[in-house]
A and B are shown apart, each in its own frame.
Chain A
Amino acid sequence: MAWDVLIVDDSAVMRQFIRRVAALSGIEVSRYREAGDGFQALAALEAEKANLVLTDLNMPGMDGEEMVRRMRSIEALASIPVIVISTDATASRMNALLALGACGYLQKPFGPEMLLAELQRVMGGPV
């Protein structure tokens, strides 16, 4: 399967890094789209769904937590897997995100192997 991936992060260099790591992980990606915050991400997804969302948490405008909450309340977007990427890996934050409907959580720093492993865990098998 080739993935249509939406990367959500307010940092342009971080979005570029995530694309790089995804490529190095061997994941087959048909298209990358990018958004700078949750508002842009929801607009992009409502215009055209994605197979996977990789999102930061702390962003100006709409943050990643609110974006996940809204995605789960919109029927057309509710089933899209979301993996949160953040420096904050305290148990309370991770549990809160998973309870909201995020499927996975990657703590920075992370590399290609960690991204691939988390994606396989979320999808329940090889990707």
Chain B
Amino acid sequence: MIEIQDPDVLIAALLDSTTSHVLETMFFSTVIGSAPESESDSNPRLRARLSFSGNPSGEFEVETTRAAAHALAAAFLGIDESEVDAQQAEEVAGELANMACGSALSSLGNVECFRLAKPIVTSAPVGTPMLDGVRRGFLLDSGALRVSLRVDFPPA
């Protein structure tokens, strides 16, 4: 049995597995590789951020390009990308944040209870840093997707 001492290492591994699982199960999208944990191009971006309360509490954020958000929404809803409107793309990005965060927290162990707030979806100007937390980047057919999770563990 491997004992992981650094919580950030554990959270990063959890984000890798749970985010991939959410994308495959509900978005019918396969992760084809890793993406840099910070943006490297100037494509318009969509971010969905939510806070969670309980034990532990913290914040989670997901970021994609607008194009990737539309592709994910189309896959989620089972419709053609041309049928996806901006509101649907934003709502689906919020659902993705909700599920990826909840899935990671449920897998964290020693989590007694948590409550997820409604995600807030915004356009992110290029160069705006993501939430300060453990970040992971995923490469999808439709573009890059990044997540960041900050967990505020209660003092021991």
**Residue interface bits B46-79, CB-to-A below 8 A is 1, else 0:** 0000000000000000000000000001001110
CB atoms of A13 and B106 under 8 A apart: no
B130 at the interface (CB under 8 A from A): no
CB atoms of B95 and A13 under 8 A apart: yes
Interface size band for A: 20 to 34
CB atoms of B113 and A11 under 8 A apart: no
**Residue interface bits B79-123, CB-to-A below 8 A is 1, else 0:** 000000000100110110011011100100001111110000000
Docked complex Cα distance between A11 and B78 (Å): 16
**Residue interface bits A68-93, CB-to-B below 8 A is 1, else 0:** 00000000000000000011111011
CB distance from A87 to the nearest CB of B (A): 3
Chain B interface mostly: helix
Task: From known contacts A11-B95, A13-B91, infer whether A87 and B102 are also in contact, taking CB-CB under 8 Å.
Answer: yes
Docked complex Cα distance between A92 and B55 (Å): 13
A31 at the interface (CB under 8 A from B): no
CB distance from A57 to the nearest CB of B (A): 10
Which of the 9-residue segments B2-10, B19-27, B33-41, B138-146 touches chain A? B19-27
CB atoms of B101 and A13 under 8 A apart: no
Task: From known contacts A13-B76, A87-B106, infer whether A108 and B88 are also in contact, taking CB-CB under 8 Å.
Answer: no
**B residues neighboring A (CB under 8 Å):** 21-22, 25-26, 73, 76-78, 88, 91-92, 94-95, 98-99, 101-103, 106, 111-116
Apart from A13-B91, A92-B112, what are 17 other A-B pairs with CB-CB below 8 Å?
A13-B76, A13-B77, A13-B95, A20-B78, A87-B98, A87-B99, A87-B101, A88-B106, A90-B111, A92-B113, A93-B113, A107-B103, A108-B99, A109-B25, A109-B99, A110-B25, A110-B26
